[in-house]
Amino acid sequence: MALKLTARQSQILDLIRQAIAVDGRPPTRAEIADTLGFRSANAAEDHLRALARKGVIRLSAGTSRGIQLVEANEDATQALRRAPRDHAPDDAPPVRLAQAADHLLLPIVGRVAAGHPILAAEHVEREIPVGAGLFSQTPDYLLRVRGASMRDVGILDGDLLAVRRSPEARNGQIVVARLGTEVTVKRLERQGGRLRLLPENPDFQPILVGPGDDFALEGIAVGLIRTDALH
């Protein structure tokens, strides 16, 4: 059974997850201290060591960004535990739950049909309430992750990726992209005039986007919800 996190530990874990999703790397101790108003980076280090002892992160010695996520924040999955299971009949209408002042009501997008808008009604499995404070930026939807190509940054098959719709992204950000008939989650790399979509798993190859390819950015990852607690 996972150990209970304090409110401050949950806050730091959310900050780490958001930094990885948005910037592609964990924060430094100094950045954590600055964001949360600690007097020194040592205070952040103490909290990180406590999180490591509880088994939710791993720390690597000798590097300021040596933080690796191990498991999802329990607070991030509370809304999913209260929400209905995925296994409703195919003809069941989407479940709509009341939106509290401190929650977002977000659609869960499943498989996307070729050529259809990502938020088309037929792609939405249901809507769930999610704590607004979980994300550094307000997402527009949750995309159900398929496959293991982003495994090494903690984005696993079945996870819900919080996505903010945007046609633009910075180099190094994790994005949802449409290439031909496929929608994929990858890290964006721009080098000169070259554009690549990079996996975070050595078992997968980078995708080179050519000048004549049918390519579009659907959005930017701003957070993640682990759903394994549901199964």
- Indicate if 186 belongs to the active site: yes
pLDDT (tens digit per residue) in 97-134: 233 346 778 888 887 766 677 877 778 888 887 777 77
- Mean pLDDT confidence for 17-41: 80
Residue 54 to residue 75: CA distance in whole angstroms: 15
Domains of the chain from N-terminus onward: 7-71 (1.10.10.10), 86-230 (2.10.109.10)
Secondary structure in 3-state letters for 67-103: EEECCCCHHHHHHHHHCCCCCCCCCCCCCCCCCCCCE
Residue 18 to residue 174: CA distance in whole angstroms: 11
Residue 151 to residue 128: CA distance in whole angstroms: 24
pLDDT (tens digit per residue) in 138-151: 889 999 998 899 98
Whole-model pTM? 0.56
Tokens 């986007």, residue located: 209
